[in-house]
Amino acid sequence: MDKVFQAVFYLFLIMILVKLSQFAYRVLRERRYMKELAQSGMPYIDKMDGRQFEFYLQALFQQLGYKIQVTPSSGDFGVDLVMKGKEKIVIQAKRYSAKNRVSLSAVQEVYAAKAYYKANQAWVVTNSYFTKQAKELAAACDVTLLDRADLQNFINEVNPVFKAREIFENITPEPRKCPKCGQDLVVRDGNGTRFFGCSSFPSCRHKEKINKEQKM
């Protein structure tokens, strides 16, 4: 009977040790993830609008030695940045909220733009993720996709001299119009938070979060 009790006791002890080791591993993994997240500046990238995200990518690739051409807001043939280095790369930038995934239309557009700009490579870069259909089409069309995890790893590998926070705080977001009165929305600061407020305040008190999703 004692031997049975000892066997049960040791089995129970082993189960406890396994659970503790699993818990410790999860804690260490979570700490490493949070450290890498902070180093990459992803929390500030998530707050950017589309224009700020383009500026951030521009600065990132300039550090790698690329010459950057920013395309106009209209008539860009589905491309936000044209990068010239050893190879010519066209990029479509998608600053999305985490709940929205980039669809295959982005892949279609950048693939067509690759031919128009006579580029060697076509990329879609996002702080979010891609749909299954977008991934399948990209694989078939040889389009490079950088999702949230890829972008975070890429930033940490480049280790840019500037920080995402600098872009977010110093680059003016894309102009917007107030949906209530039609006047311009301007960036305001209140209680340590930046937001879009109507320029006709106080007659119009409309305001929006500065990180409200902009699909580009």
- Tell me the pTM: 0.68
Reported as a single tens digit per residue, the pLDDT across 134-166 is 999 999 999 999 999 999 999 999 888 888 888
Whether the per-residue pLDDT at 39 is higher than 90: the answer is: no
Whether the per-residue pLDDT at 27 is higher than 60: the answer is: no
Q: How far apart are CA 66 and CA 110, in angstroms?
A: 19
Reported as a single tens digit per residue, the pLDDT across 47-96 is 888 889 998 999 899 999 999 887 766 556 778 999 998 899 999 999 98
So what's the pLDDT on residue 195?
74
**How would you list the strands of the sheet with 88-94, edge to edge?**
67-70, 81-84, 88-94, 121-126, 144-146
Q: How far is CA 199 from CA 52, 111, 194, 205, in A?
A: 21, 40, 15, 9
Averaged over 6-11, what is the pLDDT? 70
Whether the per-residue pLDDT at 38 is higher than 70: the answer is: no
Q: State the first-to-last Cα distance of the chain, in angstroms, to the nearest integer.
A: 72
161 sits in which H/E element:
none
